[in-house]
Structure 1
């Protein structure tokens, strides 16, 4: 199952703090196309019926079936870009 680093959990909480439904909001990662060639990250007010839910420290990530399989043994991290923006990265689990 996908794991979240502390940095990723904080970034997700920051992104969803002002959402219309902050208690259930999170980010959703879904496949773009039938295979996991490309994944799309978006803000979500809650999971879709078949989504896998990953939660850490109040941060929620919703994964569609394809993304859940593709990211099953990965970790999601977050950091700041050189321009001051937010960047998410996927790495191998430690």
Structure 2
């Protein structure tokens, strides 16, 4: 299962706290089967895997969950306020 770093949980909690319509982030596989999209979400889609960690919620669609099963999601906010995510291999 996808793991989340403390950085990501803080980003997700901050987003959900600032925008009431957002309950978490959703990661979905793109139609090409090679890339992923990350977007704010208000709820899980019917086949989403729900990851709840340290007060943060991330929804992952089925195809993305398979791609990310052994990964860890990290993130940060740059000086201009842009959120950036990175994937790494779980230890």
Q: Given the two structures, how large is their TM-score scaled by the length of structure 1? A: 0.87
CA contact (8 A) 1:19 1:45 kept: no
Task: Report matched runs for 1:36-51 at 5 Å.
Answer: 37-51=34-48
Which sections of structure 1, spanning at least 5 residues, go unmatched?
A: none
Partner of 2:18: 18
Partner of 2:78: 81
Q: Given the two structures, how large is their TM-score scaled by the length of structure 2? A: 0.90
How many residue pairs end up in the alignment? 91
SS at 1:46 equivalent: coil
Superposed CA RMSD in Å reads 1.5
- Aligned-residue offset at 1:77: 0.6
- Aligned-residue offset at 1:79: 1.5
Partner of 1:31: 29
Deviation above 3 Å: which 4+ runs of structure 1?
none
CA distance in 2 between partners of 1:34 and 1:64 (Å): 15
